[in-house]
């Protein structure tokens, strides 16, 4: 994810309320239904399909056999059917970016707003805007999002802070989000800092990748204290989207055109790179979402000057 960013000081000002006690366990929202999986077994799915020309994709989220993509140009949301690769725009956006995406089991699509400094929640079926949250004042780059059963966490690649949007009873959306300042081992510098976010395998903490340093960090969601994950000296430079599957962590390394595969310990304090996935169809992929035995990645094509007619696509590869 590209942006010209400057390091900002540690933030502690609340957006709407004091930092609440974090969940006792960070549990990821539910997977695709068994019915969708059974239907998928009877269908041949394309391993590559197009997005609208000029779309400039960034994030991806999958629910059932639907894939959702955000545009960093207009903020539009595009929904594709994985069975055919065909789709349509369901939300035309606000004119500011739609970057990281996650969809929960309630059918709500959470959108990181990039330089817009906001988060949006969209009905994944209708495309209607449900809610919008102002997360940052001044320069910011709200880059990615993790949705659990109790909250949504957003990263900021400019400012050393996470934004937490807690859910009320029955998953209801509350009025505001709070800032959780990041401290400890992490040090923000010029360039893209914290980017992708995922839970630890034990569900008790968060993992974030710092694109410009290639480091992976474990974050205490109550205090914001970070500790560097021991990766055996392996760099994850240009790390972008993260995906945890069991104890396997996939790290999309965008401009390297690779996906690093790490096996983590249960607490997420250490991990070993056990594989590196690549494909000749990669053209700077940014984020990743799973479906059955595949990983789907949108090509952001950062090295290609965007025009209204620039083609973009999505590729699927076999997961490790």
**% of the chain at pLDDT higher than 90:** 85
C-alpha radius of gyration, the chain, whole number: 18
Judge contact between 51 and 171, C-beta under 8 A: no
* Contact (Cβ atoms closer than 8 angstroms) between residue 68 and residue 61: yes
Q: pLDDT for 41-61, tens place per residue?
A: 556 899 999 999 999 999 999
Residue 146: strand pairing partners: 153
pLDDT above 80: residue 23: no
Contact between residue 312 and residue 274 where contact means Cβ atoms under 8 Å apart: no
Q: Quick check: pTM over 0.85?
A: yes
210-247: per-residue pLDDT in tens? 999 999 999 999 999 999 999 999 999 999 999 999 99
Please, what's the b/e burial string for 131-155 (b: 16 or more CB within 10 A of its CB; e: otherwise)?
eebebbeeebbbbbbbbbebbbbbb
Planar angle of CA 140, 306, 48, nearest 5 degrees = 100
Task: Say yes or no to pLDDT of 264 above 90.
Answer: yes
The mean pLDDT value for 95-108 works out to: 97
Q: Which of 39-43, 66-70, 165-169, 276-280 has the lowest mean pLDDT?
A: 39-43
């Amino acid at each position: 994810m590209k942006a010209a960013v400057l390091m900002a000081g540690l933030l502690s000002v609340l957006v709407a309320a004091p930092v609440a006690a974090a969940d006792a366990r960070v549990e990821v929202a539910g997977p695709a239904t068994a019915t969708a999986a059974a239907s998928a077994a009877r269908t041949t799915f394309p391993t590559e399909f197009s997005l609208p020309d000029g779309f400039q994709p960034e994030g991806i989220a999958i629910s059932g056999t639907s894939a959702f993509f955000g545009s960093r140009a207009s903020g539009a949301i595009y929904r594709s059917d994985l069975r055919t690769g065909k789709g349509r725009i369901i939300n035309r956006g606000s004119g500011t970016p739609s970057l990281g995406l996650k969809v929960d089991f309630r059918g709500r699509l959470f959108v990181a707003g990039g330089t817009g400094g906001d988060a949006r929640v969209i009905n994944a079926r209708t495309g209607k805007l449900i809610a919008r949250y102002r997360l940052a004042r001044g320069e910011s780059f709200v880059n990615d999002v993790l949705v659990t059963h109790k909250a949504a966490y957003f990263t900021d690649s400019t400012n050393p802070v996470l934004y937490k949007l807690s859910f009320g009873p029955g998953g209801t959306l509350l009025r505001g989000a709070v800032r959780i300042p990041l401290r400890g081992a992490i040090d923000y510098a010029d360039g893209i800092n914290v980017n992708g976010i995922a839970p630890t395998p034990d569900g008790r903490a968060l993992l974030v990748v710092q694109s410009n340093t290639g480091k992976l960090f474990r974050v205490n969601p109550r205090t914001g204290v970070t500790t560097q994950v021991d990766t055996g000296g392996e760099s994850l430079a240009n790390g972008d989207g993260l995906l945890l599957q069991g104890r396997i962590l996939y790290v999309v390394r965008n401009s390297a055109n690779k996906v690093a595969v790490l096996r983590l310990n249960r607490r997420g304090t250490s991990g070993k790179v056990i594989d590196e996935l690549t494909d000749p169809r990669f053209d700077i992929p940014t984020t990743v979402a799973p479906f059955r035995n595949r990983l789907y990645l949108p090509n952001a094509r950062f090295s290609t000057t965007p025009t209204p007619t620039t083609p973009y696509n999505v590729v699927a590869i076999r997961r490790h």
